[in-house]
Amino acid sequence: MKLFYSDEALIDGLRKRKKSYIEYIYLEFTPLVAHHVCQNSGHTSDVDDLVQEAMLILYQRSMSQTFKLECSLKTYFFSICKNLWLQQLARKYRLLYQADSEVNEPHSTYRSDNPDRLEEEAVKHRLLYKSMLALPKDCQHLLELYFLEIPYKEIARMLKLKDEIIVKTRKYACKNLLRKKIMNDPEFHQYFKL
């Protein structure tokens, strides 16, 4: 027979570091997190570390006197994991983009002695990064794969799309959406006069 614990009992068990309660949280909540991670540019190998980090955050927050659940514990835990995963993807994308830029640019602007040029490059990177995060998840994933120069046929297979034509069409739409988000950003108009 499967045990069921209320959210209050789980929080209390977590505060008291009771093994059965902690294991219950892992067993009940991890599949939802795993599904989200795998649907958003991740792999099952990413899940354990993510869940462990979320458990630590949940424990620390539950120890606060002001801690109060405004939703189910599962929803609260999932939102912690979702935010952690977004942060990981942001770091990963930033590293991939920066590494890709330095490799593919014939004259590296990052080592320039011109401070205005360095600031302009930093603004461009920040705008791109911020605008990418504002895109729908499917666009983010597709553009990340495109920026990594993965062939269209492989992108179609990875994203479970019918064929390369659909990938190209969606890439075009996503790039236009990204361009609009960048162009509508006040920071863009502040630094780049058209």
Residue 148 pLDDT > 60: yes
Q: Which of 5-9, 103-107, 132-136, 153-157 has the lowest mean pLDDT?
A: 103-107
Structure tokens, 25:
């949280």
Share in percent of the chain as helix, strand, coil (round to 5)? 75, 0, 25
- Angle (CA) 189 190 191, round 5°: 95
* Euclidean distance between CA atoms 33 and 79, whole angstroms: 9
Q: How confident is the model at residue 9 (pLDDT cuts 50, 70, 90)?
A: very high
Residue 91 pLDDT > 90: no
CA 127 to chain centre: 17
Distances (CA, A) of 150 to 32, 49, 89: 29, 27, 18
pLDDT tens digits for range 44-82 = 888 998 999 999 999 998 998 888 888 889 988 988 898
Helix and strand counts by DSSP (H, E) for the chain: 9, 0
- Enumerate the CATH 1.10.10 domain ranges in the chain, comma separated: 114-194
Residue 110 pLDDT > 60: no
Query: What's the whole-number mean pLDDT along residues 6-12?
Result: 92
Q: What is the pLDDT of residue 4?
A: 80
Amino acid at 192: F
Q: What is the pLDDT of residue 69?
A: 85
**What's the CATH class of domain 114-194?**
mainly alpha
* Euclidean distance between CA atoms 93 and 18, whole angstroms: 38
Total-model pTM: 0.50
Are 38 and 44 in contact by the 8 Å Cβ rule? The answer is: yes
Query: Which of 187, 78, 62 has its CA nearest to residue 131?
Result: 187
Residue 111 pLDDT > 60: no
Burial of 163 by CB count in 10 Å (0-12 exposed, 13-18 middle, 19+ buried)?
exposed
DSSP 72: -
- Enumerate the CATH 1.10.1740.10 domain ranges in the chain, comma separated: 1-104
CATH number of 1-104: 1.10.1740.10
Q: What is the pLDDT of residue 100?
A: 46
CA dihedral 75, 25, 29, 92 (to 10 degrees): 90
